[in-house]
Structure 1
Amino acid sequence: MSLFCPSWIYSAICALTAQRYLGESLGLEAFASKYASVLADRYSDINYEMVLDTSESYLRHLMDAGVEDASEILESYAFHRIAFDKNGTPRKIKGFFSSSLDGLKTQEVSAEAAAKEFKPFIYMYRTKPELAMPAGWTWGAIEDGDWLKEMPDLDVSFLDGI
């Protein structure tokens, strides 16, 4: 049975893709290709074009908002998608019998919806300092994060974008 990617994982990975693009000297295509291939190995609904489109949308929204701290906003967004459910309660990744990293039986990821969810976060981030990522938090601190913990450390080369 094919399993689908949870939207919180997809959004966090797209934010990481955009953030790494801003901080490194490779094209967005290389990062999108690398992260899409990692997600596609686990989930049947993810492809390169989706990750690229969503990451570009995040960057476009940041540019339209005229922010100077784009990387911080992307980090904080990824943190909030990983650490909290939509209702604001702390996310529990592992349960007694399953993990939310295992995937879903129904598809919930949409590149358009992910881009729309990010835009309000930019403006909320400006008015609510508590949305900033906690000092010292890293992806490695994700409790029961398994493979998700390693995402920021993936080696990406210009060949990944070809």
Structure 2
Amino acid sequence: MGIGTKLWPTVGTVVFLIGSVAVGEILKCYQCNEADQTCGGPQKPLGHIGECPHSTMCTKTVLTMSLLEGNQWIKTMRGCAQQLSTTHVFVNKSWEEKSVVEEPYEEGCIEEKVNFRNTVLLCHCRGDLCNASSSPALDGRMLPLILIGFIWYWSYRKLHM
């Protein structure tokens, strides 16, 4: 086994770590609320694109109400996940405000029945503009990294078999 074959695991690890860390990047999510007509129109069907400096996830909420005669009232809201927690801590004989971005949500969708007629679909996802659809999307920036990882793994296995 030559020195080149020992280098592959290190190269793979470095590529993975560089691709996993996004330094100084602010998440962007679609932001809108059909109730106030900021989304759903022909010009901006998904709403406007907004920055989420205090979030690591985007959300999409769909409210469905079953009305009489089989009709449904459906409203969609999109935005940044509410992850900023602010508390007060006592430091040096005075109270200071401390803010922390927490990770209380899991990626994916949860549908809850409010009662026998109404439901709420709440989705959380990671990645810029991932809240366009009803299901969480794979962040497109990760695809090249996944491809490089696959090539690295395949090459590494081939050299050691």
Give TM-score, length-normalised by structure 2. 0.27
In terms of Rg, which structure is larger? 2
Pick the structure with more strand per residue.
2
Higher share in helix: 1
Instruction: Name the structure, 1 or 2, with higher relative contact order (CA <8 Å, separation 6+).
Output: 1
